[in-house]
């Protein structure tokens, strides 16, 4: 019983740190301890380190998985699978909402990357959000874990390539993951790239899991 409690405690703490880390990397202007007035009063430039803190939190969460795995590998693997499927699937569903609601704005954002031929920008602006929505939904509500994971990894790869392209050309545009805005800053592309690279690991891990329903007795 003590081992079970210890394993569960490590998993809960790891989940909290990982979630907070991803949020700090993705939305440093909202989810960051550096945004507290008493911190900024003493350290006016503290907000710049939000992404670094987020990375540290995700690394610490990964380290906490090690003792949990050693104590009870079966429980740890099952809990991780459920959390990753819910988290990644939910994130893609959420990310698709803004793009489906404003396909014209999303097409303009894609065009700003100067990566795709103009003839297919509008088509891609219509297709990609649908992929995000349906594969995110399928990752949570169907047993086809491997197939959905491969599709999501392909989308992650396309996002990473596009962001690297934008950084190389110094375009300074927002990634367009969760909102549709015009040109922003180069730092936003960096934070989006870091987030996608962080999420690549746990998503790829799902390829090692069996195809089964999210809630399963197996």
Q: For residues 153 and 199, what is the distance between their CA atoms, to the nearest angstrom?
A: 10
For residue 142, the model assigns a pLDDT of 95
Average pLDDT taken over every residue of the chain: 85
Whether the Cβ atoms of residue 23 and residue 31 lie closer than 8 Å to each other? yes
Quote the distance between the C-alpha of residue 45 and its chain's center: 26
Domain ranges in the chain are: 1-71, 86-218
Determine whether 95 is exposed, middle or buried from the number of CB atoms within 10 Å of its CB (0-12, 13-18, 19+): buried
Q: For residues 138 and 87, what is the distance between their CA atoms, to the nearest angstrom?
A: 13
Q: State the DSSP code for 116.
A: S
pLDDT per residue as tens digits for the range 29-86: 666 656 656 555 665 665 566 667 788 888 899 999 999 999 989 889 999 999 999 9
For residue 4, the model assigns a pLDDT of 81
């Amino acid at each position: 019983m003590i081992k079970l409690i210890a394993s569960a405690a490590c998993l809960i703490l790891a989940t909290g740190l990982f979630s907070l880390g991803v949020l700090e990397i993705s939305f440093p202007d909202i989810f960051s301890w550096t945004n507290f007035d008493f911190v900024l009063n003493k350290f006016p430039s503290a907000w710049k380190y939000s992404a670094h803190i987020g990375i540290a939190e995700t690394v610490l969460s990964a380290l906490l998985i090690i003792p949990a795995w050693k104590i009870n590998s079966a429980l740890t693997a099952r809990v991780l699978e459920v959390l990753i499927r819910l988290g990644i699937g939910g994130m893609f569903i959420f990310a698709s909402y803004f793009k489906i609601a404003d396909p014209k704005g999303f097409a303009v954002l894609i065009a700003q990357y100067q990566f795709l031929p103009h003839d297919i920008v509008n088509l891609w602006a219509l297709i990609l959000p649908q992929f995000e929505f349906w594969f995110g939904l399928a990752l949570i509500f169907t047993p086809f874990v491997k197939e959905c994971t491969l599709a999501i990894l392909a989308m992650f790869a396309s996002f990473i390539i596009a962001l690297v392209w934008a950084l190389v050309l110094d375009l300074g545009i927002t990634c367009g993951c969760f909102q549709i805005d015009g040109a922003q800053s180069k730092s936003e592309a960096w934070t989006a790239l870091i987030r996608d690279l962080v999420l690549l690991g746990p998503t790829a891990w799902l390829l090692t899991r069996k195809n089964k329903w999210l809630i399963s007795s197996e």
